[in-house]
Amino acid sequence: MSDDIEQAQQGMEHAHEADTAHPAHNDRGARRVAILISALAAALALAEMSEKGAQNEYLTHHIAASDAWAFYQAKVIRADLHRDQADLLDSLPNAADPEVRKRAEAARATVARLDDDEKTLGRKQLRAQAEQKERLRDEAFEHYHKYEGVVGALQITIVLASVSVVTRMRLLALAAGAIGGLAALYGLGVAYAGL
């Protein structure tokens, strides 16, 4: 971001130099380009802040999804162990013994609780939670990439506007304004869609 601000400052310095070299001829044009560069730099700063925010949101949801899937896998392992315990107890020669039956039923009840339990979050609830976090992560990643495009476009427009001052080509300044305006509007659209 500091490179972008430095780039905008250089563009404004070029506008000032052109303004002082030919004050009567370039006064209004150089000032307009300087204002354009300032507006583009402000839009760039906002786009970069949004880009970093989307990146942080992506990482937060990615970590949360990974955690939910890890808890889900732990519940799978625990449920499998209890299921195997119940099956082993059922296969014992004294499987009809009331104490053995009680332990096998307790193991099966634990399996059922690990599969679906609103209080302690069973596998069913953890899977839904992990899938939701993945959706949020993917949306944040998409926003991050869109903001990357906005930032790149705004950086290019600052360069175009700066070059227009040095070369005295109004067309470059007009292109910078048009592309910068479209990039800023697109960035606002991305921000609005993310709310």
DSSP 171-194: HHHHHHHHHHHHHHHHHHHHHHHH
| Domain segments of the chain as ranges | 2-194
The phi, psi pair for 116, rounded to 5°, reads -150, 105
Q: What is the pLDDT of residue 82?
A: 95
Residue-wise pLDDT tens digits, 136-158:
999 999 999 999 999 999 999 99
Distance CA 133, CA 195 (A): 17
Rounded CA gap, 14 and 114, in Å? Answer: 68
Residue 1 confidence (pLDDT): 61
- Between 70 and 15, whose confidence is greater? 70
pTM over 0.75: no
Whole-number pLDDT of residue 27: 65
11 vs 140, residue with greater confidence: 140
Residue 182 has pLDDT above 70, yes or no: yes
Instruction: Quote the mean pLDDT of the chain.
Output: 87
Res 170 pLDDT > 70: yes
